[in-house]
Amino acid sequence: MLSRMNLVCVIIYVSLLLSFSIEIIEATPIISKRETFHEKKPSPFNTVIIFGDSTCDNGNTWRLSNYTYPPKKFFYKGRFSNGPTWVEYLSKLLHAKEMNYAYGGATTDTNYVKAVSGFDGEIPVPGIKQEVEDKFKTQVSAKSLNPDKTLYIVAHQGNDYLNNPKIFPVECVKHLYDVWVELANFGAKHILINNFFNLKNLPEVTKNYGVISRLLTGLVSKMHNAAIDGFVWQFKRTHKDVKFYILPMDQVWEEFKDPNLKKSLGITDVNSACVLRIDKTKNYTICPNPDEHFYWDHIHPSTKVHNFIAVKVYNIITGQK
Ligand SMILES: *[C@@H]1O[C@H](CO)[C@@H](O)[C@H](O)[C@H]1NC(C)=O
Ligand SMILES: *[C@@H]1O[C@H](CO)[C@@H](O)[C@H](O)[C@H]1NC(C)=O
């Protein structure tokens, strides 16, 4: 229940948040002291093509929802965060054109596990496979891209498991593998994927959600990452001409246990979400210190964390290319 006092607080913090967010978009990526950043010139990539879910959506689901979800009072211009996502920071660091086909709510393949978004899951969205087949491949020809200068990102943080806790990680990752193969057949020479962070690092309140608590006891993150290792091995064996990069999302979460890193980024809270939806309403409460939270909402990192991830990915790809 939202009391009148809380409502006032919500409104005050919303205004704070709005001014905060607008500041962020103009800002170039901030390089933390922890990750050393050596700009590589010329940039190794001129185009970044992104398939994925809410962790890299730059507003596709928001547009599809006619600008209703995620609500712009609490989320930055269609991002499931309080500022740009890591793929946007990364594209800037690379001085590359960003082609973003990620939809918040995407599963690996909507014909495998239904992909939905919106307050009550009422908006169907494409799965990652559909982003590639129905959005990207129908609009872009391989000839228009230089494969040596194009980075494909396939980012997935597990909506399949949230929408259907009974599916097997090996089966889920096989659907991602199929996408990697499809992109390689299209002409991709550089593909970046992520592994899965440990669900046990989610905010406390999230851990109590029925689905999440079931997934936690099922060791899903561990099994998922083991399956990723297996399919990456298989992919590399059969696609020696494709350079494959992995963003170790599990490590990012572990790194944030370091007090020095938190201090350098001004993050004081790694355990609780800043905005929380008020049960069954379209309202959220918002914390008094929005730029000090690791988590923006119950499941998505804040833009500072996205920024950190982008620098990490930049170093991974430039170190290997
Ligand atoms: C958005 O608007 C269009 C056109 O009015 C409509 O067809 C569509 O159903 C709307 N989508 C949602 C999710 O409300
Ligand atoms: C919160 O939700 C109620 C309905 O549940 C609505 O009347 C009110 O305007 C909402 N407040 C905000 C700040 O969105």
Q: What is the pLDDT of residues 213-268, one digit of tens each?
A: 888 877 899 999 999 999 999 999 999 999 999 999 999 999 999 999 999 999 99
pLDDT (tens digit per residue) in 269-314? 999 999 999 988 999 999 999 999 999 999 999 999 999 999 999 9
164 lines ligand 2 (CB under 6 A): no
Task: Please give the Cα distance from 161 to 213 (Å, whole number).
Answer: 12
Counting ligands in written order, which one lies closest to the CA of residue 124? 1
Ligand 1 lined by 65 (C-beta under 6 Å): yes
Query: Is the C-beta atom of 281 inside 6 A of ligand 2?
Result: yes
Cα distances (Å, whole numbers) of residue 292 to 11, 150, 241, 272, 298: 19, 34, 43, 11, 15
Under the banding of pLDDT at 50, 70 and 90, the label for residue 47 is: very high
Q: Which residue has a Cα nearest atom 2 of ligand 2?
A: 283
User: Whole-prediction pTM value?
Assistant: 0.87
Q: Give per-residue pLDDT as tens, 151-162.
A: 999 999 999 999
Q: Helices marked H in the chain — which ranges?
A: 4-26, 60-64, 86-94, 128-130, 137-139, 159-163, 169-186, 204-207, 210-217, 220-238, 249-255, 259-265, 303-320
**Cα 190 to averaged position of ligand 2 atoms, centre (Å):** 46
Atom of ligand 1 nearest to the CA of 118: 13
Q: How far is the CA of 64 from the centre of ligand 1 (A)?
A: 7
Torsion of CA 194, 140, 77, 292, to 10 degrees: 20
Alpha-carbon Rg for the chain in angstroms: 19
C-beta 116 within 6 A of ligand 1? no
- Domains parsed from the chain with CATH numbers: 47-250+300-318 (3.40.50.1110)
